[in-house]
Structures are given as structure tokens and as C-alpha cells.
Amino acid sequence: GAGVSQSPRYKVAKRGQDVALRCDPISGHVSLFWYQQALGQGPEFLTYFQNEAQLDKSGLPSDRFFAERPEGSVSTLKIQRTQQEDSAVYLCASSLRRLAGDGDTQYFGPGTRLTVL
């Protein structure tokens, strides 16, 4: 079946612009995650949804970052007034499970590479 898809794959923004990144999780997956991966680093957690509820946003670096999943499927990560330090790959992952536990596998999309000039 289809995996996690993300769009756009590449985004170039001028400093100060707003951007919106889209994630389509695997069909039927309850949980959805956003991670940020800087060059040469591992992914870092941003936020987590269970269906439409945002249960954890502890990783969002500032109030310029906002995520939503209004119907419990597609999710959008929005970054307002982009800064150069926002340049990174933004990864979306989804999981079939509701709860942490054995077998809680997160499946990742290909990511959106954001470059802020």
C-alpha cells in the first residue's frame, strides 16, 4: 500500500515568508508525528497527534510553528515569518497504534526540505 507522502518535497522561502508543509499519513493510521532534521543530525521531535487531537507539542521551537490535523488524517505544519535557522528537512511519520508499547512503529515520509534565504 501507499506509504506516508509529503508535499512539497522542496521549498525555498525568503526570510519572513510563511510556509505550509503537508503530510498524508498511511490510511487508517491514528497517530501522526512531525520531526525536524537539521543537516548531519538525527530527527528531532516537534509534535504529535492522535486523530485530530494534538497531544504533545513540546518540541515546537517557537510560537511561529503551528500544526493541525483537523479531520484526523492529513496534517499541515505551518511556519510563520520563517528564519534562516528554520532551514531543515521536516519529516512526517504515522503509526497505527494509539498508545506507546511493543510494536509501536513509526513509518516516515520522504520529508520536505525547507531552505530559507
Partner 1 sequence: QKEVEQDPGPLSVPEGAIVSLNCTYSNSAFQYFMWYRQYSRKGPELLMYTYSSGNKEDGRFTAQVDKSSKYISLFIRDSQPSDSATYLCAMSARGTGRRALTFGSGTRLQVQP
25: nearest Cα among 95, 77, 105:
95
- For residue 72, what are the CA distances in angstroms to 14, 32, 40, 66, 93? 31, 9, 32, 16, 14
Stretch that binds partner 1, among 17-25, 50-58, 67-75, 76-84 (CB under 8 A): 50-58
Over the window 84 to 103, marking each residue x when it contacts partner 1 by CB under 8 A and - when it does not, the resulting string is -------x-x-x---xxxxx
Q: Pick from 25, 48, 82, 114: which binds partner 1 (CB under 8 A)?
A: 48
E-only strand ranges, 14-74: 19-24, 31-37, 44-50, 53-56, 65-68
**Is residue 72 at the binding interface for partner 1, with CB under 8 A as the rule?**
no
| Site residues (vs partner 1, CB under 8 A) | 4, 31, 33, 35, 40-45, 48, 55-56, 58-59, 91, 93, 95, 99-111, 113
